Amino acid sequence: MKEEVSIEIQKIDDYRYRIPRTGKMKTDGVVYANEKMLRDIRNDQSLLQVANVAWLPGIVGYSLAMPDIHWGYGFPIGGVAAFDLHKGIVSPGGVGYDINCGVRLMRSGLRRSDIKGKIDILIDALFANIPSGVGSRRKDLKLNKEQERKVFLKGAKWAVDQGYGSVDDLEHIEERGCIPNADPDFVSERAMERGKSQLGTLGSGNHFVEIGFVSEIYDYKLASALGLEEEQVTVIVHTGSRGLGHQVCDDYIKIMLDASDKYGIELPDRQLCCAPVDSEEGRQYLGAMACAANYAFANRQMITHWVRDTMEQVLKMSPKDLKLDLIYDVCHNIAKVEEHRIDGKRKKLCVHRKGATRAFPPNHPEIPECYRETGQPVLIPGDMGRYSYVLVGTERALEETFGSTCHGAGRVMSRHQAMKAAKGRAIVRELKDQGIIVRSAGRATIVEEMSDAYKDVTDVVEVVHNAGISQKVAKLRPMGVIKG
């Protein structure tokens, strides 16, 4: 019989709220939000999900939620939770279906004025060269089983080895583009079948490639260290592990439902099905998840290559003149073994970030040497009609949130609600009137992803900035977007 969890919220300060431990919760929940956002958050079941995560065995610290929180499968999207490696669990619901859905940001040697009047042709060319939409696949690249296993084991390096980008790119990717301990033997034949022809494709939903520019800088010293300046042209790539990651999640949810019963794990919600981290099922899931994560790194790396190639051809520029350099690539939707300080002692934990971004501070050993003084770049995309943000990680994030922050704007409408709200509107025309050119595989995606369907990402970023778990560096505005 499922025990009901009564959701009480206590204000800690203007940017933090506590869900006190009750019933079988093993710890408090802590939600990063302001008062206005909290009213919207209460409209779905995500706060209950924060409380439910606090039931799980071996949880360390609090069950956390970022300001872009909304309802998800098991864990809320925007949820963060860490677990002891020996007493704790790993849960596919704490990672999500789109394993290592992530964001990468590139800077260029171009000014906004350099591509004035050329956005239409650039976006058309990108849309032609990067397959997008439901079921999208590349006709010119279909992996055999041996090649796909190498992608699982090498991640972005596999793509670089095939000529997609340079070794320098790897220095600017979380984990250098390869999660350790990937094991292809734990990936099902069905998952491999789904993945073999989708590498180098954008997919559907909220995935996109965006050409934009730096519209505002908040910290000039940090911006300079990241190679950013006002009016500079930038490119964002947002996609993940495609059908492969979805299938890995689906496969292991079934396995974990049995494992939860096998290990006597009491769940407030069956969607939180899990297994001990150090169990056979736990190790197998982490091995398969790492394969999907590495596939996603390779996917973004290949799309980056096609973005560079396309812009060079359309603008008739050499790579040296275009200077489309990778700033950073961050994971969302991942469970990673990391070392954190707990009660004054260093301890390895399994940190789940679902719709959350790592935000490590300056001098952290796991961030690239080039960012040791600034802290890890944090990339927060908004919706296609407004803006995105560049931040850096902070020491406070390491102390409070296991080095985590928000990952985007967060939905306020379901896709069905967005379709209903957009009836009679010409969203593409509205965006063009704002100076934003959009191309998509279908009208439905554009409508489902319209700005009204999301929180204003500025509100989300202000919360994490003012709470001190990441620091604002720059704002980016879109000029052209291709959607899945």
Helix (H, G, I), strand (E, B) or coil at 311: helix
Q: Are strands 471-483 and 437-440 parallel, antiparallel or unpaired?
A: parallel
Residue from 472, 355, 286, 484 nearest 77 by CA: 355
Whose structure tokens read 């203007």?
Answer: 14
How would DSSP label each residue in 43-95? Answer: TSSHHHHHHHHTTSTTEEEEEEEEEEEE--SSSPEEEEEEEETTT-EE-GGGT
If you ran DSSP here, which 8-state letter would residue 34 be given?
A: -
Return all residues near 416 (Cβ < 8 A) that are at least 6 apart: none
- What is the C-alpha separation between 348 and 354, in angstroms, rounded? 19
- Is 407 labeled as catalytic in the residue annotation? yes
Distance of CA 265 to the CA centre of its chain: 29
Cα torsion at 16, 376, 355, 478 (round to 10°)?
100
Whose structure tokens read 């102390």?
Answer: 399
Q: Are 483 and 431 in contact (CB under 8 A)?
A: no
Residue from 103, 133, 131 nearest 334 by CA: 103
Q: From its phi and psi, is residue 231 left (phi > 0), alpha (psi between -120 and 50) or beta?
A: left
Residue at 453: amino acid letter: A
CA dist 483 to 208, 211, 306, Å? Answer: 5, 12, 15
Q: Kindly report the number of other CB atoms within 10 A of residue 229's CB atom.
A: 14
Whose structure tokens read 């922050």?
Answer: 405
- What is the C-alpha separation between 375 and 355, in angstroms, rounded? 20
> What is the enclosing helix (H) or strand (E) of 218?
none
Token pair recorded at residue 122: 């650039």
Q: Are 183 and 290 in contact (CB under 8 A)?
A: yes
Return all residues near 45 (Cβ < 8 A) that are at least 6 apart: 71
Strand partners, 107: 234, 325
> What is the enclosing helix (H) or strand (E) of 444?
helix 443-448
Helix (H, G, I), strand (E, B) or coil at 301: helix
Q: Are 105 and 113 in contact (CB under 8 A)?
A: no
Catalytic residue among 172, 207, 352, 407: 407
Residues that are catalytic = 407
